[in-house]
Structures are given as C-alpha cells and as structure tokens.
Structure 1
C-alpha cells in the first residue's frame, strides 16, 4: 500500500465518491446540491464565510481519530519480519456532518451520503485517489462506526463549534509502508572437535 500519503488519499477518495454521487443524484437545475469537503476543527469556526472550506450547502468529512488496526497488525508484523519492510495498519475514524440553512436539507444530505457509502463501501482501483500510489489489489473499506454519545460530546467539546448531527464512519485498513530495512542474516554456529585433546 501507500506511504505517508495514504491517509490523505483515503480522505480525498471519500470526498470524490460523495461528490460524484451528489452530481448524479441531484440534477444541475436543482435548487440546491451539496459539495463534500475534507475539513478540520478550524474550518468549523469559519463556516459559510468568505473563502471558507465549508460553504452552504456542504457535507464535511472530518477525520477526528486514528487508531491501530489490531486485527491485522500481528499478521503484517510477521510479513515485515520476513521482507524487512515495516507496515503499520491504521483505521481512520471520520465524522460526516451536513451544513445548510435548514434542518430538512441537512437531513437529506446526510441521507444521501449514508446511502452512497453503504452502497459503495469498498474503495479500490480507480475509486482510490492516485496520490496514494496504491499497489494493484489495494482496497479500503468504509463502514459505519460505533461512537458512544459521551465520546461524540467530548469530540465537540474539544472544538469551538456547537454540536452537530453527524454520521460516524470508519475507513479500514489504511496501511502505511515504511522504508525497507535490511533483514538480519541468520547465523550458523559450526562446532569442531580438536583431535589429540583429552576429553
């Protein structure tokens, strides 16, 4: 899989997928059509202001946490021990939020985003942003995530924006490959018996 650009490439891939489906589902002559964007905490403070990343109507994709994928780490560790290439399997925890002037529009945009990710939960081949320099056969699965209300509240308390209705998603497994390391050579010990020395 990719090097250090993999995380950003997955974020771009999710945004690109949502924007393609928004264009297909909502015709050009429609009253409103959202734009999906990658956003961070500072972007939530400048919503719908001049030059803002989030401009109404929009669906923001915010990666609020990264974690180790413990299910696959041991397996990749064994592979790395054989070929000397370090591999770190990660999970991207994301929150999708809709931004518009009315709640009913926001619910529509979240519903469309949820339907898109549920229908096309596997990113592979041309649906993966090329900046990730992916290998043939690389895939990333985007699935709904479980996020307790307490954890959700804590996430918003860490930001200056007010609480917003959002959908939690998880992108797995995003594998970061390191630089190849030399594999230690096996050492063989050969014993010899000297003749003429009493035992």
Structure 2
C-alpha cells in the first residue's frame, strides 16, 4: 500500500458565498493535520487557500506552499509555512505540486481550481499517473462538473479505455479514508510505472 504523506489541495483564492465552503476548508485542514498528512497547495493566504493552510498549521500540520512569482502579491503569499517555493511560472508550479503529492483534492474554486483538477484527470486518463483524485462536493458544488463528464461519456468523447477515474466525496471526513482505500487498490508495479512516466 502506498503511503498518503501529502495531499495537494486545489481551491479558490476567494471564499465564495456559501459559508459551508470555508467550514469545509477548515475541517479538511484539521483532518489532514490530525492524520499526519502534509498539505501541498498554491501558496496564497486569501480565500479557501488561506483557510485550509492556516487550519493545517493551527492543528500542528505541515504546509508546503508553491506559488509563481507573479502571484506573490496578488494572492498575498502565506509566509508562515514550513516550506515556501516561489516558481518562475505556472508550469513549474503545477509540476512541483504534482511531484510532491500522493493525491489531489479539489475544494470549491474558480477557473484555476477547475483547470488544475482537470489537468490531473487528463494525465490520469492518459496513464501518466495513478494518484487518486477527489472532488470535495461541498453542498453539491461539483455537481455541474459531474454532469458535464457524464454528458461527455454519453456522447462517447470519454469512451472505453479512456475512462476518467475520480472520487466524488460529499463529506469532508470521508476524504482521507477514501483516498487511502483508492491508493490501496493500485498495484505497486502499476503505481511505480505511472510515477516514472508522470513526471512532466
């Protein structure tokens, strides 16, 4: 079984209108810290990004922030973390976030959250990695994306052999257990092969 040492969390640099989003980010950070799982995230202090990072820190966990130089002021880089990496561009940021994580979780967010999550789904679809991906479906937030993916399957743009493998988790407390179960399902040799080819 592969260890779940670090989770990459994608989420908004805004907080959204629904207070349940912030509550979910705080709870996920607390659960990660309690489980001894490090957070890898986008390095900002605003919105849900800041909420999940501060929650991990508050509860004794470890945080790695990875942020491109041009966003350090716009997203108010959070400096009170154990490791802070400033990259030259978005491509380097996303590569490092991928390499340093054992799984991915998407909390509510905007275009950046969607783009990063879909990129991980695409890499998994193409066999570039076998790391589990979970949508934290807080108050049904990711329902429209699930519907779109179902529509793509119905129209055969996602067809046999190109399945999109991901978890939809409605309860925050279920995220870590389900990620661990998914990791346990991946044969060690398959995981090792995918991790070698997945370094993009």
TM over 0.5: no
- Give the TM-score taking structure 2 as reference length: 0.24
Greater Rg, structure 1 or structure 2?
1
Larger RCO, structure (CA 8 Å, separation 6 or more): 1
Higher strand share: 1
- Give the TM-score taking structure 1 as reference length: 0.24
